[in-house]
Amino acid sequence: MKIVIIGANGQLGSDCCEAFHEAGHEVRPLTHDEIDIADADSVSSTCRGLQPDVLVNTAAMHNVDACETSPARAFAVNGIGARNLAEAARDLDCLLVHVSTDYVFDGSKGQPYTERDCPRPLNVYGNTKVSGEHFVQAIAARHYVVRSSGLYGKAPCRAKGGLNFVRLMLKLARERGEVKVVTDETVTPTYTRDLARQIVALAGSDRYGIVHATSQGECSWHEFAQAIFELADVPVRVHPALSSEFPAKVPRPAYSVLANQHLQSHKLDIMPHWKESLRSYLKEIGELSAPAPV
């Protein structure tokens, strides 16, 4: 199949390019220089020229603070951008895989969210991503809306100054010898290489719709940080903190764990446990110190 990947030099986009290529597909990567998803003409002319079988959209404005201060721009990219791609997919009769987020939920459920739970976002980022999901569902006949969580990968996270959470923790620990990390936000950190492989598996199936795709298990950011330092063998004091100690912070869900129910019910779930993925990631970036468990 011919796969067009948007956001191709981002964390997830670059791993999607690699995963589709490894699976034997023809891959056409597109960076922001080559397509602006917020611009309907740019999307329709580029997609018409390429005639993909599958359009994978990993592009987004997902810096939560930037979205809060520039809501119109966030909507233009995350909402209208998704609409433009959905229209292109409809017009070209191709499959659209659109990536979304756990931040569509408010966290009040306190147990893993399934695809049937109703979104109720707490911030501009989450709201604009919900709008994008609705456009995709309403317009693209064949689509996957793939929600994931806490992404980290080997390519720099472009929206966050190049540093994902793992790299940020390692940097701060080495510079300061101590870090302060919240205990009251529970997530499932997910390695983009795993998610990319899951997207390849999905693209070859016809169980369309909303799909939750995160690693297995859950942890607070504090627990995640401790696991990073343990596996990388970095000596550091990890102080527990509450999100209320960072008063300027944009509201985020306290609990945004997703259950991969759709994937599991169709026997498509290939996502590993978050600890196993963290180990693979640290090994890949040359930071793994601890030996593998026997």
Ligand X SMILES: NC(=O)c1ccc[n+]([C@@H]2O[C@H](COP(=O)([O-])OP(=O)(O)OC[C@H]3O[C@@H](n4cnc5c(N)ncnc54)[C@H](OP(=O)(O)O)[C@@H]3O)[C@@H](O)[C@H]2O)c1
Question: By the criterion CB under 6 A, which residues form the site for ligand X?
Answer: 6-7, 9-13, 31-32, 35-38, 58-62, 77, 81, 99, 101, 148-151, 157-159
Between helix 81-92 and helix 124-139 the angle, nearest 10°, is 20
15-261-243 Cα angle (round to 5): 70
Across-strand partners of 5?
29, 56
d(CA 250, CA 65): 6
Token pair for residue 101? Answer: 């987020």
Q: What are phi and psi of 86, to 5 degrees?
A: -65, -40
Token pair for residue 166? Answer: 């793992």
* Residue 274 CB contacts under 8 Å (≥ 6 apart), including other chains: 188, 189, 190, 215, 216, 217, 218, 219, 224
The widest CA-to-CA distance across the chain, in whole angstroms, is 56
| Catalytic residue flag (residue 125) | yes
Smallest distance, Å, CB 187 to ligand X? 9
Q: Which of 103, 125, 144, 152 is catalytic?
A: 125
* 30 membership: H or E segment, kind and range: strand 26-30
CB of 188 within 8 A of CB of 149? yes
Q: Which residue is nearest to ligand X (CB)?
A: 10
Across-strand partners of 13?
none
Active site residues: 125
